[in-house]
Amino acid sequence: MVKGCGLAAIVMTSALLTSWSLHAADPAELARINAIVTACERLEHDYAIYRDRGDAEAFANIFTEDGEWGRPTTVLKGREAIREYIASSSGGPPEAHMQFQTTIQITPVDDTTATGISYAIVLEAPIPEEGLPVSIIGFQVASESRSTYKLTDEGWKIAKREYTTLFVDPE
């Protein structure tokens, strides 16, 4: 080991930490970051609520006009395709659908772009003739979603969302 190398590493680390903490302490920068994170987290919550309600119009409108939604093998492109998919899903027997967004991490990239990872657990079952509550034994699916968010003239929207199913109900 070169003599003095340890001291140089300490000085360099100290300088980096000081620089980061000064940057992070800038109130305007913190406000900018918090505004982006809050807007994108709101999209995540709206995603779950509108999907649960089967509100095809509201669900599609959380995406950009050319937004993409799906899993690696099947991707819907554009609001109209997303709207049609959700609308067609609500044509069968009535179902109770509840999506729990359990973990959400948003990372601002710049003033108009952010990325995010979220986890969800979904409960879904047909509503019996006697109505709610629905009896279920387990969850339907648990998934991870990776999203790109864009600031548009309409506000923050999901530009791309790809989800991967990690766990499924065996039945």
CA dist 6 and 42 (Å) reads 46
Distance between CA atoms of residues 86 and 68, nearest Å: 14
This prediction has a pTM of 0.82
CB 59 within 8 A of CB 86: yes
Looking at residue 108, which CATH number applies to its domain? 3.10.450.50
From the list 141, 152, 164, 142, the residue with the least C-alpha distance to 67 is 152
Is the preceding omega at residue 93 within 30 degrees of 0, hence cis?
Answer: no
Distance, in Å, from the CA atom of 143 to the CA atom of 16, rounded to the nearest integer, reads 37
pLDDT in tens, the chain (171 residues): 445 455 444 544 544 444 444 455 699 999 999 999 999 999 999 999 999 999 999 999 999 999 999 987 899 999 999 999 999 987 778 899 999 999 999 999 999 999 999 999 999 989 999 999 999 888 889 999 999 999 999 999 999 999 999 999 887
* Domains in the chain, number: 1
- Domain encompassing residue 43: 5-168
